[in-house]
Structures are given as C-alpha cells and as structure tokens.
A and B are shown apart, each in its own frame.
Chain A
Amino acid sequence: DAKTTQPTSMDCAEGRAANLPCNHSTISGNEYVYWYRQIHSQGPQYIIHGLKNNETNEMASLIITEDRKSSTLILPHATLRDTAVYYCIVRVAMRTSGSRLTFGEGTQLTVNP
C-alpha cells in the first residue's frame, strides 16, 4: 500500500470547517483513500473513503485531486467532539491485501471553543 504523509497536528475553531490534508504521491490506480479517526481512548471510527471522485457522507467530505496524489478531508462544521487523531490510509482493492489497514501517525485535530 502507498505511504501517506499528514501534518502532525492542526487546530480549528468550533463551528468552522476543518480541512485535513493528506499526501499520497505514490498512490496506484487501484488504491483507495480511506479516512478513520480515533477519539482519545476509543477504537478507530471509519469516516469516508474514495477512489477518484469526491465523496460526501453525513460525517465529512473527501476531496481527491485529479492526479490522486493528495486528498483533503473536510469536516464542514467542526465541534468539540471532533477532537481526535485523523488517519489517512491508502488501501488496494485486492483479495490478499484488502484486509490490511496500515495506520500512519495521523493528524491530531484539536477543535477549540
């Protein structure tokens, strides 16, 4: 799976959009971009994933650049409960590798009141 690079930490004001960047310059054509987050002392939580197109669900939006070398997770109206470590993960859709989630160090997002 391709390696990802994320900033170590970010701050965001409550009510504002949080934009979390991820660089995956070595991504292959069959690799998906996944985002998970982990609130302190809890298990990781799936947020969203995408291959080429931008995606949106009830939690967030995922913007993937046209060359797919980077992406941005957008939390449109951050709340204090969104304070967590956010992991960007690239995974290939193959039977033998589909199981692996290789977590990087992630970005610690702190939402301030």
Chain B
Amino acid sequence: DTEVTQTPKHLVMGMTNKKSLKCEQHMGHRAMYWYKQKAKKPPELMFVYSYEKLSINESVPSRFSPECPNSSLLNLHLHALQPEDSALYLCASSRGLDYPYEQYFGPGTRLTVT
C-alpha cells in the first residue's frame, strides 16, 4: 500500500472558523510533510515531522498549527485564516530524513477561506 489519504477533499471556512485537515499513511514512514500549493504555482514546504517530532517549520504563520499524534497520522489545525490562505494543501510521507527518499503525496485538500 503506497497510499497517502487526506480528508476532507474540499473545505470552505470562514475567517473566524477553526477546522482541521487530516492525513494518514500506513507505509511505516517516519517522516511526514505539509505543503501548500497556490493556483498555477509549485508546492511549497510548510512543515516536516520526523518520528512524530516537528523537524522543520518554514516560518509558517501561527494560524497554521501542525500535529502528529502518531507515526501514521498528521493533522493541520487551522484558525483565523485569511482569504489568501486559500490553496491546495498537500500531505506527503517518506521513509525518513537521513536520505532524500522519495516522497509519496496525498491528493490534497482544497481549502477556500471566505
């Protein structure tokens, strides 16, 4: 099984809402990632988790809060977002960080902030 699943597929939220994005993998991968992709642009790295610990935060605003409750799950908690945060949010996983292992991506959550 080389699948990374993400829920929900689509999300519309107001600027005062709190919502969460969920990502799951069952490949035994120890590194998980969040990327953000604006329309017609390449994906940009947001966060990296290794062995359930935050390894990299690419200076992401605090209204995005990642969480890795176990090695298979990765959440992204959203609060007080702005319309410019509307984007495709991609989750990925890889075997680890000690080698540039290939990353497996989920289909993404398309977020619209109104």
Question: What is A's interface to B at a CB cutoff of 8 Å?
Answer: 32, 34, 38, 41-46, 49, 85, 87, 91-93, 95, 98-106
Question: B24-61: contact bitstring with A at CB < 8 Å (1 yes, 0 no)?
Answer: 00000001010000000011110010100001100000
Select from chain A the residue with minimum beta-carbon distance to B110: A41
CB pair A34–B100 under 8 Å, yes or no, is yes
Complex: A57 Cα to B99 Cα, angstroms:
20
- Given known contacts A99-B50, A103-B42, A106-B42, is B101 in contact with A44 (CB within 8 Å)? no
Question: What is B's interface to A at a CB cutoff of 8 Å?
Answer: 4, 31, 33, 42-45, 48, 50, 55-56, 88, 90, 92, 94, 96-108
A–B complex contacts, Cβ < 8 Å, 7 sampled: A41-B108, A43-B90, A43-B106, A85-B42, A98-B100, A99-B56, A101-B43
Most central of A34, A99, A101, A106 by chain B CB within 10 Å: A99
* Residues of chain B lying within 8 A (CB to CB) of residue A45: 105
